Structure 1
Amino acid sequence: MNVRRTVLSSGLRIVTEEVPSVRSAAIGIWVNVGSRDETPAVAGASHFLEHLLFKGTTTRTALEISSSIESVGGEMNAFTTKEYTCFYARVIDTDLPMAVDVVSDLITSSLVTANDVDSERKVVLEEISMRDDDPSDLVQELFSDTYYGDTPIGRSILGTTESINGMSRSAVFNYYKKRYIPQDLVIAVAGNIKHKKVVEMVERALSRDGFLNVHGSPQVRPDTPIRIKNQQSVGLINRKTEQANMFYGVAGVARNDDRRFTMGILSAALGGGMSSRLFQEIREKRGLAYSVFSYSQQFAGTGILGFYAASHPTKAFEVIDVIREVLADVAANGMTEEEIERAKGAVRGSLVLSQEDSGSRMSRIGKSEIVYGEIMGFDEILKEISGVTSDAIRKVAGEFLVQRPTLAVVGPFRDGRKFEKVMGA
């Protein structure tokens, strides 16, 4: 693995992975801020700001920002999570200096004008409406709110209609200036590049407006355990949908827990594909649902293991019963060697295949640096996956699958008491 890391006196981190066999290069600027850093008054500010930074800088209009990348056949975008925000571009390797300059310009010199705030507010409100119209997305938001309650990590990344409507230009701009500082940034670049040249490009691009004229130390979010105080058993949104969209979840491991690899294999064996236990039991054997999947999600100080299924409303309770029966069986008896090896192979293969392009490699090293403060070697990750044993699976399953569950449902149901009954609440 040809990964290198440089830390500037400002606290800015630059990580690169040289891949000489490709003709592309990808840059990502990762910011250590997300929706869990917001107060209720500015809920959705991280995501709102992500939109606004594309609206124009002191040297580029919104059109110039987008056309500079698109005119060379590149792609540019951004996304916000609960814990970080990322702005990225992927271009031909010879166009990397331009891409670095454009993406850096968003970070150092965005205007965030009052007119832009007002116009983009409408776009974000449309995005919230689009989320609300998609029950498969909405049910996962509902689960987070039901499980974590009205806490920073439980709130929606998009914010609410009320918080977005009430957010002023000064509130968003102050959030930008306070949170977008060198010690909270990671610049990740991967592709046909040289580390030394990338460091020079980045320093030159980010030096505008005195952005790097500070001293600091790289910041990593502390892994302080989060205590779940107001966990509810059932969250319900009554919607006239053709299917009941259900998300069933239990406590998982936090980001720095050494058992995260075991939890990942357990999740894959339970609902990671067509050969997984839940897919076989719910869809193949009983024909109760079309879509069935699971995932393990880790944050600093907390995590979840969740299971999604969508079925005809009349089959919803049967689906929940099957999920509970399968989880109880696995908690008591573990999983077969065949299931575990199949899941390990799926996770290994997916990980290797995901590294086939410069954008994926950039994402891996950037995310690892922003959340862990270090980059685990690719071979080390594969070794950890291969080292997961049936005993480890049995112990993790026995501890977590018996935790108090939370169920979120979006569908044509007026009363959540039946769901509470089937959940044993």
Structure 2
Amino acid sequence: MGRNAEPVSGGSARSGERRARMEQEDVFYSEQLDCGIEVVGQPMAGVESAAVGILVGTGARDEEPAHFGVSHFTEQMLFRGTEHYDARALSESFDSLGVSYDSTAGLEMTLISAVFLGDRMEPTLNLLGDILRYPSFPEPDVESVRTQLLQELLQREDQPAQKVMDVLRQEFFAGSPISHDVLGGEATVSVLTRADLCDYWTQRYTANNMVISVAGNFDWKIFVHHIRRLTEAWSQGRGRMVIDKPTPKTGITVMHRDAAQENIGFAFPCVSVSDPDYYAAALLSLCLGGSSYSRLFREVRDKRGLAYAVQSRFDGLEKTGLMRVYVGTSVDRAHESIEVVLDELRKLETEGIMEDELSTAKTRLKSQLIMRSESTSARMVANLRSWWFEGRLRPLQEIKEEIDTVGVDEIASLVRTMAVMDNLAAVALGPRSEEELFGGVTVQPWRR
């Protein structure tokens, strides 16, 4: 169990509730079961619900080329039936308990989750255990899910901003498993078989490749008892797969499409999720393009009216990180938009971040963390990620203090380490050619 705050007595009922929340803020539990599954928990005062998440350490990065898309396909099949329930019976069972459930497969992990009233934990865990241990992968549903996934691929073509951001990551990390497409591709999704899904589930959904997290209203001993009962016979496999740190690829990729807009993305390397500079990177992203006070929003949208959308996004991964900038603009203003974005990136290296920018970013980041921490589901996910990537659980106060210690000098050092202009990649989707978009721009990181 983690640190416990000293109890405080006296005061009003409301202040007592606040104290209870503060006392439980630093209370964490963790245990590794004999089967290999790691279990973590954090109680939350003043809530009636609990959230449980099962993190499976597998995602698009773990797929072989012939099976691209199998992680997402497998995850989508989990709720289509088990050896004991068909899809309708599963849905009705969850609904009768008032459980909100979900699943998602990403680049590095898969998450199956449920939120429910605390007194309905045992039947909810029984259902989740059945889904993970005894999925039936019914053949008729394989075809219906395949159709759904192919439609998802087509739908992305109608979402140019998402398309650009996805291709940007794929091009930037080309040659690394981190470049794999979470949705797979039409060629592979069209031919994946039920046997492929079963094999993938057998190899990757193993006890030593899982972490289970609970947050909210629960009794730890009872929770662990149920998890142990459900998982004691689960098999172990290869466990967590290890990949090399990818080498980023610079350059320009232009995808031609007849349209009235240009969608443009830029990427440069950043830090991993466990790096000491993680929160410095998060603050940098907020200063650059994280809200209406950010540099890119002011310079590209407010001051010049060049784009209808501009933003930055930081993603910390296990071995590396990625900072991306997106600009959605009209065709006739695309070239100037690129000029302004490149100039702002150059200024990051030459001028750094100002104190007032950093202060505003800190306030926003801490507010986001506090608001998310009031959700059992968000707290459960945060603890899963922290345990999986860092092997520890972190109190909110510790994170806030870490954010407060970041100064402009730390941001400047991070920017120098990233060497933004030397490691820049760009992707554009629209009617303009590479020369029309990037030719003659004042800042030319690709043509030094």
- TM-score where L is the length of structure 1: 0.93
Question: Contact 1:105–1:206 at 8 Å: present in 2 too?
Answer: no
Is the alpha carbon distance of 1:375 and 1:222 closer, same or farther for their aligned partners in structure 2, counting shifts above 3 Å? farther
Matched, 1:33 2:58: yes
Tell me what 2:89 maps to.
Answer: 64
Partner in structure 2 of residue 409 of structure 1: 428
Deviates more, 1:231-240 or 1:347-356: 231-240
**1:251 aligns with one of 240, 249, 269:** 269
Distance in structure 1 (CA, Å) of the matches to 2:382 and 2:203: 26
| CA RMSD across the alignment | 1.8
Partner residue of 1:262 out of 273, 280, 283: 280
Residue equivalent to 1:348: 366
1:211 has 2:234 as partner: yes
CA contact under 8 A between 1:332 and 1:398: conserved in structure 2?
A: no
Q: Aligned-pair distance for 1:262?
A: 1.0
Partner residue in 2 for 1:226: 246
Shift in alpha-carbon separation, 1:95–1:403, aligned structure 2, 3 A = farther
The answer as to 2:326 corresponding to 1:339 is no
- Paired residue type of 1:211: W
Residues 178, 246 of structure 2: 8 Å contact kept: no
Segments of structure 1 that go 5 or more residues without pairing to the other structure are none
State the secondary structure of the residue aligned to 1:166.
coil
The alpha-carbon distance between structure 1 residues 77 and 205, as it changes in their structure 2 partners (threshold 3 A), is: same
The separation in 2 between residues aligned to 1:221 and 1:419, in whole angstroms, is: 40
8 Å CA contact 1:221–1:300 kept in 2: the answer is no
Deviation at 1:232, TM superposition (A): 4.5
Q: 1:14 aligns with which of 24, 33, 39?
A: 39
CA distance in 1, matches of 2:336, 2:289: 17
- Listed as ranges, the matches of 1:111-150 within 5 Å are 111-150=136-175
Structure 2 stretches of 5 or more lacking a match?
A: 1-25
Give the share of equivalent positions with the same residue, in percent. 28
In structure 2, C-alpha distance between the alignment counterparts of 1:171 and 1:79, rounded to whole Å: 19
Deviations 1:271-316 (A, max 9, x none): 1111111111111111112222112112122211111121111111
Conservation of the 8 A alpha-carbon contact between 2:29 and 2:41: yes
Deviation of 1:424 after TM superposition, in Å, equals: 4.8
SS of structure 1 residue aligned to 2:422 = coil
Instruction: Find out whether 1:154 has 2:179 as its counterpart.
Output: yes
Q: Cα 1:405–1:398, aligned 2, differ >3 Å: closer, same or farther? A: same
In structure 2, the residue matched to 1:175 is 200
Q: Which has the larger radius of gyration?
A: 2
Aligned position for 2:337: 319
Greater shift in the superposed pair: 363-372 or 178-187 = 363-372
User: CA offset at residue 32 of structure 1?
Assistant: 0.4
Q: Distance in 2 between matches of 1:420 and 1:317?
A: 7
Confirm whether residue 199 of structure 1 aligns to residue 224 of structure 2.
yes
Please give the alpha-carbon distance, in whole angstroms, between the structure 1 residues aligned to 2:212 and 2:445: 48
Going from structure 1 to structure 2, the CA distance change for 1:256 and 1:366 (only over 3 Å counts) comes to closer
Query: For residues 398 and 150 of structure 1, do their structure 2 counterparts lie closer, same or farther at Cα, with a shift above 3 Å needed?
Result: closer
> What is the CA–CA distance in structure 2 between the aligned matches of 1:36 and 1:27, rounded to whole Å?
25
Match of 1:278 among 289, 296, 301: 296
Deviation at 1:96, TM superposition (A): 2.0
Counterpart of 1:298 in structure 2 is 316
How many residues align? The count is 417
- Residue in structure 1 matched with residue 390 of structure 2 by the alignment: 372
Query: 2:127 — aligned with what?
Result: 102
- TM normalised by structure 2 equals 0.89
Deviations 1:79-100 (A, max 9, x none): 1111000001111112222221
Cα shift at 1:223: 7.3
Q: In structure 2, how many angstroms separate the alpha carbons of the residues matched to 1:310 and 1:158?
A: 23
Distance 1:242 1:100, change over 3 A: farther
Q: Which amino acid aligns with 2:280?
A: T
Any idea what the Cα deviations from partners look like across 1:320-356, whole Å, max 9, x if unmatched? 1111111111211111100011111111111111111
The letter of the residue matching 2:120 is D
**Counterpart code for 2:168:** F
Offset at residue 9 of structure 1 (A): 1.5
Runs of 4+ in 1 over 6 A off after TM superposition: none
Please tell me the residue identity of whatever aligns with 2:218. Answer: I
Match of 1:49 in 2: 74
Task: Note the C-alpha offset of 1:122.
Answer: 0.8
| Residue identity in the other structure for 1:117 | V
Q: Distance in 1 between matches of 2:151 and 2:30?
A: 40
Paired amino acid for 2:126: D
Answer with 231-240 or 172-181: which moved more: 231-240
Give distance in 2, aligned partners of 1:376 and 1:113. Answer: 41
The 1-side partners of 2:241 and 2:404 are apart by 28
Relative contact order, CA 8 A, sep 6+: which one is greater? 1
Asked if 2 retains the 8 angstrom alpha-carbon contact of 1:39 and 1:152, the reply is no
